[in-house]
Structure 1
C-alpha cells in the first residue's frame, strides 16, 4: 500500500520524468532539424509528386523528426512558396502520423539501460564539436536528447510499478471505466498541453507495462484521445500562416476526429482485439496507436481531394487583404522552424523591403520628371509598409537570436536586423529628404538643363540597379555578389562627383536652367548617394561572413 509520503514522492517523480521526457524529445528533434533541416525539407519536397509517395515522405520525415507537428511546420514553409497543394499536404500528414507512431514503438524496446551511454557519448560529441562543426555538435545534442528520453522512461517505469499498488489510483481508474467520452476529452487536452503525442503515448505505455492500466476499453479510449489531441497544436501553430497551411492542419485534425468517431462506435470490439495481445505490454499500446493511424491512411488517403475542396469552402483567405502589406514569410512564431528556414524567411522579407525602397525611388522619379505630385501619397504609403516590415523583421530576428544558434546563424540574424534598419533609414531618407526636394522642384516650375536631367535620370537608374544587386546578394549570400555590391558604393561616388563637376561647369557658364535648379541638383546627388550606400550595406556583412 502506498503511504502519503510515498504518494507525494511518486507524484513528483512522475511529473519530473514526464517533463524530462518532453525536454528530451524536444532536444533530439531540435538537433535533427538543425543538423539535417535542409535534407528533411528536400525529402518532403521530393515526395510531392503523388499522394502515395507524399504519405511515404511524411512517414519518413516524422520518423526522423520524432514529431508529426514538426512536419506540419515544414509544410507551412512550402505553402508560402506555393510548392504544395492542400490535398498533397494532407497525404503527407497522414504518413507523418504513422511515422511518429513508429518512433514511439522503437522507444518501447528494451533499450532503456542504454541511457548512460547515450548521455555520456552525446556530451563528449557535443563538447568536442562545439564551435567547430555544426552537424557534429547537433548529433551530440540528438544523443543527449535520446538519452534523456530513455532515462525518463526508466523513471516512469519505476513510478508506474509503485503506482500499481495505489488504492486511490485504482479507484480513479475504476470510476473512469465506461466514461469513454470523458476519458477521450481529458487525454486530448493533456496531449494538446504537452504538445507531444509521443510523450503522452509513452507515458501511457509505461503505465500499461507496469500493470497500472489494465482495462482494454479504457486504454482504447486513451489512445483515441491522444490522436485527437495530437492534431490540435499544429492547427494553433499554423493559424497565422498561409490559408493553405491552415487547411492542411485543420484537415489533418478532421481526419483524426473522423477516425476517432468511427473507432468510438466500435470500442468494445477493438477492446476485445486488444485483450488478445500480451498483458502488461507497452508495445501493445503502441501497436494499437499504430493500427489506428494505419487504418486512418487507408480510410482517408483516397478522399484527400474532396476534403481539400471542402476545406477551401470552409476556410477562405481574408477578403480585401493587401497582397504585400505586412510580413508574408514570418507570420507566427519564427523560432518553431529550423534556423536555416527561419533565416531564409527573414531574408525574403528583407528583399521585400529592398523592393519597397526601389518602388519609392521609382515613384519619386516619376514626380520629378513628370510633375505628377499625386504619386507623393504613394511614396508615404510605401514608407509605412517599409516600417511595418522592419518592425516584423526586427521582432522575429530578435526572437531567433534568443535561441541557441550556431555562431554563423546568430551572426546572420544580427546582420539581417542591421540591414533592415539600413533599409528603413533609406525609406525615411527618401520620404523626408528626397521627396521634399522633388516636390519643391515641381512647385518651383524650374527645369533642369538637358544635361543635368540626363545625369539625374542616370543616377536614379543606378541606385535602382543597386537595389537589384543587393537583393541577389542577400538571398545568395555569395562573396562574389558581395564584392560587386560593395564596388557599387565607390562607383556611385565617382558618378556623383562627375555630375557635380559638370554641374559646376554649367554654373560657371551661367546657364540659366542650371542656376535655377542648382540646389535641387546638389540635394538629389547627396540623397541618392546616401540611399545607394545604405543599399550596399549587406555586402559588407556577406564579405565578413566569408572571412576565415
Structure 2
C-alpha cells in the first residue's frame, strides 16, 4: 500500500492518538494509585484563601495530568461537606491552569529523554517491591510513551503536507473557526482528555497541516469539551457538587466561546506570544486559562449564586420506592440469582457510603434532620441485609453446585460486613458526634484535621471497594488489601499523635480524647468491613493465602 493511502494515514494517526490517550492515562493512574492519599489531603487544604485553593488545584492537575480528575475529587469533597463550594470552584479554576501547564511540558521536544525514561521506568516497575516504587515506574513509562506518540503523530502527518485534499479541508476549518471550535469540543469530549486533544491539535499545527486560526479555535473548543467531561461524569452526584462543576463549565466553556469571539473580532497579532504557529497556539492556551482564573477568582460567589437556581434539591420522592434487585423469578437460574444478589449487595454498600459521607459534617455542627436521615438509611440497610440472607439461603437450597454455594457464602459475608459498617456509622459515629454537641466540646485544630483526613481516606477506600465489587479486577482488589495495612499503620500513628497532644495538656484534646480515639477505631472498622470485598477475588487469582497476601503477587500483573 503506498504511503499516501488515506487508509494507511488514518491507521497511523489513530494508532498515535490511541497511544497518546493511553499514555496520559498511564501517568494519571500511576499518580492516583501511588499518591492518592497525599493528593486528597492536598486538595482538602483549600480553605477561604482562593489563591491558595487555586494553587493547590494547579499542583494537583500537573501531577494527575488531568483537570477532570481534580474536578471529580473536588466535587466529592464539596458533596461530603469537607470543602466549601467557593474553595471548590477556585480549586477547579486552578486545575484548568494546571492542565494547560501539562500541555506546555509535554509539547517539549525531548526525543533524547525517551530511552532514559523507558529504561528507568521499566526497571522501577519490574524490580520495585513497594507500590509507590512501581507507580513511579508507571509514571516514567507513561511520560516516555507520550513523547513517542507525539513523534508517531508527526511522522504520520509529515507526508501529507502537500496533500491537496487535506490542505483544502484544513483551509476550510481555518476560514470557519466556529466549526473548528465545535469539532475541538467534540473531539476533547470523545477522547475524555482535554490534554490529549490539545496536544493533538498543536502537533497538527506544528506540522503545517492545521492553520493557526483553526488550531486556536479547536484548542478553545477543547477547553469547553474538557469542562463537559467533568459535568457528565458527575451527573449522579448531589446538588452541591453538581452546582460547583456546572459553575466551572459556565466559566471555562463560556470563557472559551468569549475568547473565540474576541479573536475573531479584533484579530490581535500573535507573534508576541510565540515565534511559531504551534508555540502561539500552546501559549494562548496557557494565557487563556491563567487569565480566566485571575478574572473569575474574585467572582466565585456571584458565579455560584448564578448557577444556584439551576440545581434545586430533589422534591419529595413519595411513592417512588426503591425496587429490590432480589428478583424471585431469577431463583430458577443460580447464575442469574447470584447476579441479583450481587447488585443488592452493591446497593447496600452505596447506602453505607452515603451514610459515611454525611456523618462527618455532624462532628462540627449537629443537625437533627441529617442524623435522622442517617438512622433511616441504617434501618433500610438492616432490612436489605435480612432480605439478602434469605435470598441467598434460597439459592443455596435450590443448588448443589459447589461453586454456587461458595459464591453464596462470599456474598453473605460481604452483606454481614456491610451491615456492620452501617452500624459503625449509625450507632458509633453518630453517637460520638451527638456527644460532642451535647457536651459543647470541639476537637483541637490538629485533631479535627486528622479526623477529617482519615475519614476522607476511608471514604476513598469505600469507593474503591465498591468499584472492585463491580469490576472484579484483581489488581484493584490487591491495591485495596494493601491499603488496609496502610490504614492500620495510619490509625496507630494518629493515636500516638493524639496521646502526644494529651501529654502537652491541650484542653480541647483532653475534653474530646475518648471521642477522638473511638472515631478513629470506628473508621478503621468500616475500612476493614469494605476490604472484605477484595478477598474472594484475590483468593481465586492466587494472590491470597488464607488471610494474607501472597508474597509471589508482588510482581505486577498488568500495566492497565
TM-score where L is the length of structure 2: 0.62
Once the two structures are overlaid, the 10-residue window that deviates more, 177-186 or 34-43, is: 177-186
Instruction: State which of 299, 302, 316 in structure 2 corresponds to 1:303.
Output: 299
Structure-2 residue corresponding to 1:44: 43
Correspondence list, 1:1-12, <5 A: 5-12=4-11
Structure-1 residue corresponding to 2:73: 74
Contact 1:217 1:271 survives alignment (8 Å)? no
Separation (CA, whole Å) in 2 of partners of 1:403 and 1:96: 31
Shift of 1:207: 1.3
Instruction: State which of 234, 252, 258 in structure 2 corresponds to 1:238.
Output: 234
Contact 1:157 1:206 survives alignment (8 Å)? yes
Separation (CA, whole Å) in 2 of partners of 1:381 and 1:95: 39
Gaps of 5+ in 2: 323-345, 359-377, 389-413, 419-461, 485-517, 533-543, 552-560
1:150 pairs with 2:147 = yes
Separation (CA, whole Å) in 1 of partners of 2:380 and 2:528: 31
Separation (CA, whole Å) in 1 of partners of 2:101 and 2:133: 25
Contact 1:104 1:286 survives alignment (8 Å)? yes
Structure-1 residue corresponding to 2:525: 474
Contact 1:197 1:230 survives alignment (8 Å)? yes
- Alpha-carbon deviations, 1:17-53, whole Å to 9, x = none? 0000000000010001111111111111112232111
C-alpha distance 99-172 of structure 1, shift in aligned 2 (>3 A): same
Shift of 1:265: 2.3
Contact 2:4 2:159 survives alignment (8 Å)? no
Secondary structure of 1:273's match? Answer: coil
Shift of 1:471: 4.5
Instruction: State which of 197, 207, 210 in structure 2 corresponds to 1:210.
Output: 207
C-alpha distance 384-29 of structure 1, shift in aligned 2 (>3 A): same
Instruction: State which of 137, 142, 152 in structure 2 corresponds to 1:140.
Output: 137
Structure-1 residue corresponding to 2:468: 397
Structure-2 residue corresponding to 1:125: 124
1:95 pairs with 2:91 = no
Shift of 1:283: 2.8
1:198 pairs with 2:195 = yes
Q: How many residues align?
A: 387
Structure-1 residue corresponding to 2:164: 167
Separation (CA, whole Å) in 2 of partners of 1:67 and 1:228: 14
Contact 2:118 2:141 survives alignment (8 Å)? yes
Once the two structures are overlaid, the 10-residue window that deviates more, 468-477 or 104-113, is: 468-477
Structure-2 residue corresponding to 1:486: none
Correspondence list, 1:353-372, <5 A: none
Contact 2:182 2:218 survives alignment (8 Å)? no
Shift of 1:545: 5.6
Separation (CA, whole Å) in 1 of partners of 2:380 and 2:40: 39
Shift of 1:219: 2.3
Correspondence list, 1:509-528, <5 A: none
- Alpha-carbon deviations, 1:446-502, whole Å to 9, x = none? xxxxxxxxxxxxxxxxxxxxx999945523659xxx9xxxxxxxxxxxxxxxxxxxx
Q: Between Structure 1 and Structure 2, whose CA radius of gyration is higher?
A: 1
Separation (CA, whole Å) in 1 of partners of 2:91 and 2:479: 32
Contact 1:351 1:474 survives alignment (8 Å)? no
Correspondence list, 1:138-537, <5 A: 138-213=135-210, 215-268=211-264, 271-278=267-274, 280-320=276-316, 349=352, 382-384=382-384, 396-402=467-473, 404-405=475-476, 407-410=478-481, 471-475=522-526, 477=528
Separation (CA, whole Å) in 2 of partners of 1:145 and 1:403: 22
C-alpha distance 386-314 of structure 1, shift in aligned 2 (>3 A): farther
Separation (CA, whole Å) in 2 of partners of 1:188 and 1:169: 21
Once the two structures are overlaid, the 10-residue window that deviates more, 392-401 or 215-224, is: 392-401
RMSD of aligned alpha carbons: 3.8
Shift of 1:105: 0.3
Separation (CA, whole Å) in 2 of partners of 1:289 and 1:217: 13
C-alpha distance 174-395 of structure 1, shift in aligned 2 (>3 A): same
Contact 1:57 1:95 survives alignment (8 Å)? yes
Contact 2:46 2:87 survives alignment (8 Å)? no
C-alpha distance 216-208 of structure 1, shift in aligned 2 (>3 A): closer
Separation (CA, whole Å) in 1 of partners of 2:255 and 2:311: 21
Shift of 1:198: 0.7
Gaps of 5+ in 1: 327-342, 356-377, 414-466, 483-540
Once the two structures are overlaid, the 10-residue window that deviates more, 270-279 or 303-312, is: 270-279
TM-score where L is the length of structure 1: 0.63
Separation (CA, whole Å) in 1 of partners of 2:161 and 2:16: 17
Separation (CA, whole Å) in 2 of partners of 1:468 and 1:171: 66
